[in-house]
Structure 1
Amino acid sequence: MAGAPMGGAELFFERLCIAQARAGVTVQPVIRHNAERAARLRAGGVLAQQLAFGGRADLLTGLRLRRLLKHFAPRVAVAWMNRAGRMAPAGDWVLAGRLGGFYDLSNYRRCDHLIGNTRGIVRWLDEQGWPAGRAHYLPNFAVDIRHAVPRRPTVLPPGVPFVLALGRLHRNKAFDVLIRAMRHVPGAHLVIAGEGPEREALERLARADQVADRVHMPGWVDGTAGIVASCDVLVCPSRHEPLGNVMIEAFSAGRPVVAAAAQGPVELIESGENGILVPIEDDRALGAAIGAVLGDPAMAARLGAGGRRTFDTDYAEAPVLAAWHDFLSRVEKA
């Protein structure tokens, strides 16, 4: 896995490796040099090997990766996202590529199987001509934070309704739409926990829309479980969202979710049952949905309970680990 220092796909890679090792599966993570990630894996009982995973001129990583794989002799190797897919060698193992989005499939030309973490990705693989029997749906699981101690961010005044969004400050996340939506939710405060290239633009927008006193952007926040558990509503306003791990985490905490109808939220949410879906880019509809949840405690409780049921059935650790175990067992015998 050669991903970024932070991100949902990267954090799920860590959780999956640790959970598989805890379940008795022999795993060997190979990651891009990252002391913090290696320390988290080590704390979970898994020793990671670290390589450079540089650009296309990096020839050493491929050679070292092949040597590591030959020494470890896996029955199945999983290339986690594009760069790992491009560098992972074929060998005496089944090679599977794991996609968390609609990626360039040329990166996975050596793969025997492809894994999509949404059904939409698997349908898209079929549309691209990938053989149906070699495309597999394996969802993410989230950390179960049902018992997390709620921890409201200290930037919030006491007693105000608290809207939460988490993620990289990138245009795809549509935090600009969410900030505009706050004009239609008077009295509520918004915390956007994350960092990225859109920070200055988002801060300017909050000032221009006269909501800067109710919009807080503290950067990346360690230990988000307590913050998610404390929010009145979690919002995913993304223009493009293949899955939305933070929504699954909110499901586990029984918190109500409002989301724009991008690919991932549409797959996760049955609107009115375990969350509310609104049109993409529609700040008025987004604000109205947030306001409806904040103004109706019975609705908020019903949506939160629906999300928890969805989590238990589809996105808790046990069913997802079972699905991975079944996949690995099947493809290693093929």
Structure 2
Amino acid sequence: MRVLHVITGLGIGGAEQQLRLLLRHLPTDHDVVTLTNPGAVAAGIAADGVRVRHLGMTGNRDLAALPRLTGLIGRGRYDLVHTHLYRACVYGRFAARLAGVRAVVATEHSLGARQIEGRPLSAGARALYLAGERLGSATVAVSDTVARRLERWGVRHDRIHVVPNGIEAARFGYDETARRATRERLGLPPDAFVVGGVGRLTRGKRFDTLVRAVADLPGARLLLVGEGPERDALLSVARRRGAADRLVLTGACEDPPSAPSALSLPALLSAMDVFVSPSPDEAFGLAVVEALAAGLPVLHVTCPALHDLPTQAAPGARQISGSVPELTAELRDHQQRFAAGRQERLPAPRAAHHYDIAHSAERLMAVYTIATRGASDRS
């Protein structure tokens, strides 16, 4: 089966890195086209042996990109087009149909309760999304929570398939050697209590609450993995709280890294002692699952990946409201246990193994089979 994956961009982000991981496990002949930003993940996918092409789209209203994408799809003789992220879903569905490809699958990676891909939801965005959705064969939701949101938006239940995000759980096992090396490289004392977070540094992720909470814990360090427009604002909060020297911002982390010298996400998680996800609006919560696979105790405000499973699937995870006083109190308790030598690494819970990327790839192949069979029946 020849499949073309169309994605809005290939900078370092959750959906982008999830696509790279899926491609490693899908038994298809596949190419990738990115509408914009052929960044680090594009280089990683190419290093994995997959052809990546950049469409050179200049903005959301660059309608000249539509015939370019249509021609590319037509020349490639693809059996199926799979789109990822909002802009790619809109343009990719229309282009696939214009090129004569009737099997079109779209994954909705980032539909939150009040935002899509970090932007506020609007009636116009919803109307355009639904107009394109009717041209496709199936819509993939990354969690049951997202599936319910899609239904409320107006997507038919029988067109929605849940294919959860996945991880290679074995890669995230705790590594004492990596912990020491990573802390030394980042200037973190070997005996420091380190709070960690992973994600884009945007206002919606609410990492500012985490900065404020850690600032109130003498001696604690905060290790944030990610890049984004709120970076300077977070540094400013840390300076005002007198904790600038206890905040470490690593920038974005490509995982797995293409450069041998780059820090991997498993190594960074090994350097942490507790993981916090303060975001109140998530589509899945992949970073939480990765942290659990690394054996970390986790505090989270919301995580659909865990909400969709029984509580006992992730005993090391605790849901909190996300207020600064509550977060400070929770972290102080972890810090005290750490100081007393009572905070040990946990075994990877059932939740981490449930979200195995190989299983996700199998479920996605089942969606591909349904989509191509349906396209053949209609032709």
TM-score range (shorter-chain normalised) is 0.7 to 0.9
Task: Determine the structure 1 residue equivalent to 2:29.
Answer: 26
1:146 equivalent to 2:186? Answer no
* Counterpart AA for 2:139: L
Post-superposition CA distance 1:241-287 (Å, at most 9, x none): 2222222221222222211236566447838713111003x112222
Task: Determine the structure 2 residue equivalent to 1:259.
Answer: 300
* Counterpart AA for 2:222: L
1:98 equivalent to 2:102? Answer no
8 Å Cα contact 2:11/2:42 also seen in 1: no
Task: Determine the structure 1 residue equivalent to 2:377.
Answer: none
* Counterpart AA for 2:364: W
Task: Determine the structure 2 residue equivalent to 1:74.
Answer: 78
Task: Determine the structure 2 residue equivalent to 1:288.
Answer: 329
1:324 equivalent to 2:324? Answer no
Higher relative contact order structure (alpha carbons within 8 Å, sequence separation ≥ 6)? 2
What's the CA shift for 1:84?
0.7
- 2:218 is paired with a residue whose SS is coil
Cα-Cα RMSD? 2.5
8 Å Cα contact 1:253/1:308 also seen in 2: no
Task: Determine the structure 2 residue equivalent to 1:234.
Answer: 275
Task: Determine the structure 2 residue equivalent to 1:2.
Answer: 8
Change (3 A) 1:35 1:262: closer
Runs of 4 or more off by more than 6 Å in structure 1? none
Change (3 A) 1:275 1:64: same
* Counterpart AA for 1:27: H
* Counterpart AA for 2:250: P
1:1-334 alignment to 2 at 5 Å? 1-3=7-9, 5-20=11-26, 24-32=27-35, 34=38, 36-88=40-92, 89=95, 90=97, 91-102=100-111, 103=116, 104-105=125-126, 106-107=128-129, 108-109=132-133, 110-144=135-169, 145-147=171-173, 149-150=178-179, 151-152=182-183, 153-221=185-253, 222=262, 223-261=264-302, 263=304, 266-267=307-308, 270=311, 273-280=315-322, 282-296=323-337, 301=344, 304-305=346-347, 307-313=348-354, 315-334=355-374
What's the CA shift for 1:212?
2.4
Give the distance between the partners of 1:226 and 1:330, measured in 2 at CA: 39
- 1:52 is paired with a residue whose SS is coil
* Counterpart AA for 1:83: R
Give the distance between the partners of 2:269 and 2:286, measured in 1 at CA: 12
* Counterpart AA for 1:236: S
What's the CA shift for 1:124?
1.0
Give the distance between the partners of 2:344 and 2:367, measured in 1 at CA: 36
Give the distance between the partners of 1:185 and 1:264, measured in 2 at CA: 30
8 Å Cα contact 1:236/1:258 also seen in 2: yes
Percent identity between the two aligned chains: 25
Give the distance between the partners of 1:299 and 1:26, measured in 2 at CA: 50
Post-superposition CA distance 1:194-248 (Å, at most 9, x none): 2222222222211222222322223334422211122111211113222222222
- 1:289 is paired with a residue whose SS is helix
- 2:30 is paired with a residue whose SS is coil
Change (3 A) 1:131 1:299: farther
Give the distance between the partners of 2:319 and 2:372, measured in 1 at CA: 39
Give the distance between the partners of 1:121 and 1:163, measured in 2 at CA: 29
How many pairs does the alignment contain? 327
Change (3 A) 1:165 1:50: same
